[in-house]
Structure 1
Amino acid sequence: MNERSAAIAMTSTTPAVPHTESGLVIADQHLNTEELIDLMRRQGAIPRLAQEWLLDQVLAETPLSSEEQSDLLRDYRLSNGLESDEAFLDHLQKRHINEALLIKMISRPHQVVRYREERWGPRAQSLYLQHKDQFDTVTYQRLEAADADVMQEIYFRLKDGEESWDSLARQFPGAGPDATALRGPVPVAELEAPVLEVLRHCEPGKVARPIQIGSLVVVVSLVGFQPSSFNDELRTVLLRQAFESWLQEECSRMLERITFPT
């Protein structure tokens, strides 16, 4: 950190308040640790707090260099119109942070990417093979409505070839002249389980019987499944999923063992 940055960091801290052993001072009112914890519990903020604490511990293993941090800070100031020190200081004060905290905040996403890469990167292709099916895509025709009688009539019209999917799609309320029933390609993981099950056992072009999905009745027809392929984009998705799954599990374990002042 250069001298000017150090000066900003020092001057951008919150105004001085009377020393307290612990807690926070707001409008001259002292909130001790117990009061802060009670407030966070009432706001449902404990899970997020636990997650942030866990990430601080884990990501300490993947620090960014001083040069990387300086580059991130420069880019942040440029993208937020904070070229002048006055504007930057005002920005920090409004967010109740200083430069050191800001650098931690903008470094976090890059540390996460680095941590994901170091921990799961070597196993990315293995993860893909384990979960390959969920990344396959499907193209299909779909119409849906809440009225079961209407959808039953649509099913028979399609089955008997009386009307096309798109002509029926254009007859739905609010549909435009370019309305279509064609969906996809979409990842199979995004489909409702009953719809996916029907499509997996449906011959291309065959109209499946109406399916009840919550309050809707759905009629579908398979166009085709497309197998996924391992590429950089999918690799990133896999690493992100692995990280998020791990983070959720670790936080759940932490919260099961959490204790509060009595």
Structure 2
Amino acid sequence: MTVVLRIGERSITAEEVLPLMAGYQMLPQFTQELLIDQAIESIECTEEEIAAARQQFYSQNQIEDAEHRKAWLAYYGMTEEQLDRLAMRETRIEKFKQAIWGNKLESYFLSRKDKLDKVIYSLIRVSEQDVGIAQELYFRILEGEQSFAELAREYSKGPEAQTDGLIGPVELSVPHPVLAQLLTLSQPGQVSQPTRVGEWIVLVRLEKFIPAQMDEAMRRRLLNECFNTWLKEQIEQVNSPSPSSSTAAPLAS
């Protein structure tokens, strides 16, 4: 058996590498990185992109000169060529994302928008046995006897009691689906009637609706979502192979 690695007094053979990686829970990460490398294999970069990526990588890893680079290579057991490929990897991944999903982001954004919109709202929650109390609080608010904030401080059973009932801004995917639906159908300032949400009876008032915008930060987020979804599917195919399985990159359209 061929020894491929020596660590201290331990000699590791080629046959032992995979079992050891599995034992240290390293195989999933190893599989993921191999799949990414396979996907970006054909992605090319300009000289300017190469120079910028190399400079950024060296700066992030405090590789200041040839001596530092030599020490870094020795520590990680890498060659100069491997270092160059590593420095370029993030740039190539970003170009891959753009090539595959860049022209699909608008439609993806529209399909996700109802979950990406944000809301600021006020909440009072009481236990499901206290529906009568919830009804009383609702009428107190409507009649102006006490403010929503006062009643939230006194009666709400969740952490919102510490913030006068105020929550947000949060995306509409965050609250319980029933609560999210209430907020979606509400107008700012409108107080909902007592509604059962899980184990609670809640009163909710929409304070502000903040529509999602397709800005640069959102584009980056959606690109990463598409990439991570694709990568998860590829890993699942590797773990559950079938005759039609393929780990090839999707075709751009």
TM-score tier (shorter): 0.7 to 0.9
Counterpart residue type for residue 106 of structure 1: A
Q: Which residue of the partner structure matches residue 247 of structure 2?
A: none
Tell me, yes or no, if structure 1 residue 206 matches structure 2 residue 191. Answer: yes
1:239 aligns with 2:219: no
**Residues 27 and 230 (structure 1 numbering): CA distance in 2 closer, same or farther, change over 3 Å?**
same
Q: Structure 2 CA distance, aligned partners of 1:30 and 1:152? A: 73
Return the offset for 1:48.
Answer: 1.7
Q: Report the Cα offset of residue 65 of structure 1.
A: 4.0
Paired residues of 1:202 and 1:208 also in contact (CA < 8 A): no
Does 1:142 find its partner at 2:123?
yes
- Contact kept in structure 1, 2:118 and 2:169, CA below 8 Å: yes
RMSD across aligned positions (CA) = 3.6
Deviates more, 1:75-84 or 1:47-56: 75-84
Report the Cα distance in structure 1 between the residues aligned to 2:17 and 2:62, rounded to whole angstroms. 34
CA drift of 1:55 comes to: 0.6
- Work out whether 1:87 is the aligned partner of 2:72: no
| Distance in 2 (alpha carbons) for counterparts of 1:241 and 1:199 | 25
Give 1:90 shift.
2.8
Q: Is the 8 A contact 1:159 1:207 kept in 2?
A: no
Residue aligning to 1:45? 26
Aligned length: 237
> What is residue 148 of structure 2 aligned with on the other side?
165
Contact 1:134 1:188 in 2 (8 A): yes
**Any idea what SS the aligned residue of 1:68 has?**
helix
CA shift at 1:159, angstroms?
Answer: 4.3
Contact 2:119 2:169 in 1 (8 A): yes
What TM-score do you get using the length of structure 2 for normalisation? 0.73
Distance in 2 (CA, whole Å) between partners of 1:103 and 1:151 is 65
Query: CA 1:196 to 1:30, structure 2 compared with 1: closer, same or farther past 3 Å?
Result: same
CA distance in 1, matches of 2:80, 2:150: 60
| CA deviation after TM superposition for structure 1 residue 105, in Å | 2.8
- Letter of the 1:160 counterpart: R
| Amino acid paired to 2:50 | Q
CA distance in 1, matches of 2:33, 2:132: 51
Residues 149 and 164 in structure 2, CA contact (< 8 A), matched pair in contact too:
yes
The question of 1:197 aligning with 2:181 is answered: yes
- The alpha-carbon distance between structure 1 residues 78 and 243, as it changes in their structure 2 partners (threshold 3 A), is closer
Q: Which moved more, 1:134-143 or 1:114-123?
A: 134-143
The letter for the 2-side match of 1:253 is Q
Say whether the 8 Å CA contact 2:3–2:11 is kept in structure 1.
no
Deviation at 1:253, TM superposition (A): 0.7
Q: Name the residue aligned to 1:60.
A: 41
CA contact (8 A) 2:138 2:193 kept: no
Output the amino acid matched with 1:157: L
CA deviation after TM superposition for structure 1 residue 153, in Å: 4.7
Residue 31 of structure 1 is matched in structure 2 by: 12
1:72 maps to what in 2? 53
Deviations 1:130-162 (A, max 9, x none): 3232222222113558x6678975774354124
Structure-2 change in CA distance of 1:158 and 1:93 (3 Å): farther
1:16 corresponds in structure 2 to none
C-alpha change, 1:201 and 1:219, in structure 2 (3 Å) is same
The one of 222, 238, 258 equivalent to 2:206 is 222
Residue 116 of structure 1 deviates from its aligned partner by 1.0
Question: Which residue number in structure 1 is paired with residue 112 of structure 2?
Answer: 131
1:187 is aligned to 2:171: yes
- d(CA) in 2 for partners of 1:208 and 1:117? 46
1:13-62, Cα deviation, whole Å (9 max, x unpaired):
xxxxxxx8464322242222332211222233222221111111111111
> Judging changes above 3 Å, is the alpha-carbon distance between structure 1 residues 74 and 239 closer, same or farther for their aligned structure 2 residues?
closer
Q: Which residues of structure 2 form unaligned runs of 5+?
A: 243-253
CA distance in 2, matches of 1:86, 1:245: 40
